Amino acid sequence: MKLSTKSKYGLKAMCELALKPDDIISIAVIANDTNTSEAYLEQMMATLRRANLVTSVRGAGGGYKLARSANEISVGKILRTLENDLEFIDCISGECSNKCNCKSFGVWQQLYQVMNKSLDSVSLADICNGGCNG
């Protein structure tokens, strides 16, 4: 499974917000700090806002901030928001009409559950404070 650049830049952007929890940070600043285009970042931030992971402030001095503490936001939640729920195969989403007869369905389901459990055990604060040891 290969994640898109949304995951890479989305996590970078979220870390920028996590490192300055009391500040409202503009798209221009986040784009500069993460080496991301403002247009691409704006799309990701809108997705993260709809998932209640960030809040936006309009007008002069506007920008984004985390909707809650970085300790309360899992990497899994961020990636599922940006990557179509991390459903790496049709069976997981129920789009496979043959899953009851598919010999490998159990493997895909188990992999999906283990992957999500692992990603949910890592908080945004964990990765922004020097990485994850788990």
Query: Which CATH number goes with the domain that contains 53?
Result: 1.10.10.10
Give the range of the structural domain holding residue 82, as residue numbers without chain letter: 5-124
Is residue 89 predicted with pLDDT exceeding 90? no
Domain count, the chain: 1
Is residue 132 predicted with pLDDT exceeding 70? no
- Let me know if residue 129 belongs to a domain: no
- Let me know if residue 131 belongs to a domain: no
Q: Taking residues 16-23, what's their average pLDDT?
A: 94
For residues 69 and 99, the model is more confident at 69
- Let me know if residue 64 belongs to a domain: yes
User: What values do phi and psi take at 15, rounded to 5?
Assistant: -65, -40
Residue 133 confidence (pLDDT): 47
- Let me know if residue 16 belongs to a domain: yes
Place of tokens 């055990």: 121
Q: Is the pTM of this model over 0.75?
A: yes
- Let me know if residue 134 belongs to a domain: no
Write out the E strands in 31-128: 54-57, 63-66
